[in-house]
Amino acid sequence: MYIFLDIVPDFRCACCGTCCRNDWLVTVDEAGYERNRAFFAATGRAGEFAAAFTPLAGRRAAGEYAAVNKRPGGGCWFLREDNLCLLHREAGHEHLDGVCRLFPRYPMRTARGTEATLSFSCPEVLRLAERTAPLDIIRTEEPPISLDGDGFTAEVFPRQQRPGSVLGYYFELEQHFIDIMQCRGLTVADRLEFLERAAATLAALPRSPDTGRILDRLVREDYACLDAAEAGGQVRLGPADILLEHFFVNLIFKKVFYLQGLAGATRLLAAIWRRLAAAGAGSEAGRYERVKGAVMAAEFEYCHNRAALLKIAAGK
Ligand code: SF4
Ligand code: SF4
């Protein structure tokens, strides 16, 4: 089973080069390093290989052996002036390493099957998200785009949680959290406050054989409040508000509440919201562009900079 947000099948890379100019460290594992050494040696360009890669010293994360160097302007060493990747062009997609093969796709292996979404730090993904209709979750037997074989960015198996724990019911909670974020009878700020309250209540529940029953009651109470808010009519939402809705729905679908825990994810979302709300404050003129820039920066900083993410989730 493939489960994905409905923007996924429409993604086409526009070769804008933004991701290859990001301020992130592109790393390769030892096999990738040797593969590149052999590739450049075979084409008589050992010097180019030495200029492009730097083996990492000291403590390294698993799978990180060497870094791809940057050009003086900050772009990846392999990014050409026409925004195409020299490695991709000469050696093909399969030759690239993890993040370069995957980005902006975000495939996850879960108890439900293979799930997928996209990163909101890619301008082409934001273009797909420029729409009023809520993001939808699609289920099919066929992969929406090429997903297998490049590894997974997350593994989610709620049954591996300790018996009676709230996260054992993760998928039900995910749908509930998405429904909160898509309640258009509330402002985005009110939805986040609602979500924060709901997650805090759930995080405070002790492990218990009654967890399922308690959750069922709490979630039903929440839906009664959401229904009442929607019955009052839609609040006025501009394009920036809709983008914020889509961004947070995407973040929830990326399983942030499972991966960081209910309390950690709540802190993370609150920190992200403070920055996005600040970007959206003030004049209506240019608000969408300000929020869009802040969404891209937030996705990049919090979702690709794991150290920053873990620091916030740990409350430091
Ligand atoms: S930022 Fe997105 S559209 Fe631009 S090159 Fe990267 S993947 Fe392609
Ligand atoms: S190796 Fe290629 S795809 Fe990866 S960051 Fe560099 S230019 Fe982009």
Beta bridge partners of 118: 105
In angstroms, the Cα distances linking 146 to 116, 162, 210, 254 are 10, 34, 41, 18
Q: Which residues of 271-297 are buried (b: 16+ CB within 10 A; e: fewer)?
A: bbbeebeebbeeeeeebbebbbebbbe
Q: Which residues of 30-44 are buried (b: 16+ CB within 10 A; e: fewer)?
A: eebbebbeeebeeee
Entry pTM: 0.90
Q: What is the distance between the alpha carbons of residues 193 and 186, in angstroms, rounded to a whole number?
A: 10
Strands (E), 219-280: none
Reduced to 3 states, what is the DSSP secondary structure of residue 113?
strand
The best mutation among 16, 18, 19, 87 to test binding of ligand 2, ranked by most ligand atoms within 8 Å of the C-beta, falls on 87
Class of residue 233 by CB neighbours under 10 A (exposed 0-12, middle 13-18, buried 19+): exposed
* Locus of tokens 């258009």: 184
Ligand with minimal distance to 89 CA: 2
Ligand 2 surroundings by CB, under 6 angstroms: 20, 26, 68, 76, 78-79, 85, 87-88, 96, 100
Amino acid at 45: R
* Residuewise pLDDT in 10s, the chain (316 residues): 999 999 999 999 999 999 999 888 888 889 899 999 999 999 899 999 999 999 988 777 777 899 999 998 889 999 998 999 999 999 888 888 878 888 899 999 999 999 999 999 999 999 999 999 999 999 999 988 877 566 788 899 999 999 999 999 999 999 999 999 999 999 999 999 999 999 999 999 989 999 999 999 999 999 999 999 999 888 899 999 999 999 999 999 999 999 999 999 999 999 999 999 999 998 888 999 999 999 999 998 876 665 565 565 565 5
